[in-house]
Amino acid sequence: MPSRVMLAMVLALACAPSEGAPRLDAVRARDERTAEALIERHKPYHEAAHAVVAIALGVRVHYVTLNDFEASMDVGEPVAGGTFHELPSDPTDVAVIAAAGLVVTRELARFGESLAGPLCAIDVRRIQEWAGPDIADRKRAVHRARQIVRKYRGSIQAVGQALHEHRRLTGNEIAMIVERTRAVQGRSLR
């Protein structure tokens, strides 16, 4: 069975064609325990970003899991956790939701973008598929995700902490956390 670092390198290769692709040597340079610890530390916030941005866009979230096996069974391929939501009415919103995980992972990583590949290979594919073939449309999706992530940073942090603690949250639990953090910040959900 391949190690998690090998899986990370394979997933990083899947991201290679994209702009700002992760450097494989950065993943290889760390030992397996360090790479696994970094992925585990960032995964709750990566998935929280997908869920919170989906909610901000008015998309119903079913659940978020950090359980690799559970997520892989639902997706049909090996993934490191997952956020499962309804299909938005605007197809480009799928790209924005996917980009949110990438945005947060890149902001959190202390070692540059070396962890973006292991956590976001599927996200990069979704951005490419749903934003369309035009690079300008893809950049717009990432830009829009970045704006929503900034606006909902407190909610993403709170959901990420809850995910870290519980490993799985329902869409209703996430919506309650978002509503609570937005109320504390004195802002409505929209």
pLDDT score of 125: 84
What order do you get walking across the sheet with 82-85 strand by strand?
82-85, 61-65, 168-170
pTM (two decimals): 0.75
Which residue has 């899991």 as its token pair?
65
Q: What total number of domains does the chain contain? A: 1
CA 95 and chain centroid, separation: 11
Q: Which range marks the domain in which residue 156 is found?
A: 4-184
- Looking at the domain assignment, is residue 161 inside a domain? yes
- Tell me the three state secondary structure of residue 43: helix
Q: Which of 170, 151, 183, 182 is nearest to 49 (CA)?
A: 151
The amino acid occupying position 30 is: R
- Looking at the domain assignment, is residue 93 inside a domain? yes
Which structure tokens are listed for 176? 């309650």
CATH of the domain at 139: 1.20.58
- Looking at the domain assignment, is residue 190 inside a domain? no
- Burial bucket for residue 107 (CB in 10 Å: 0-12, 13-18, 19+): middle
- Looking at the domain assignment, is residue 189 inside a domain? no
pLDDT tens, position by position, for the chain (190 residues)?
334 433 333 333 333 333 443 343 444 444 455 656 766 778 899 899 999 999 999 999 999 988 877 777 766 666 667 888 888 989 899 999 999 988 888 777 654 445 555 556 778 888 888 888 889 999 999 999 999 999 999 999 999 999 999 999 999 999 999 999 988 877 654 4
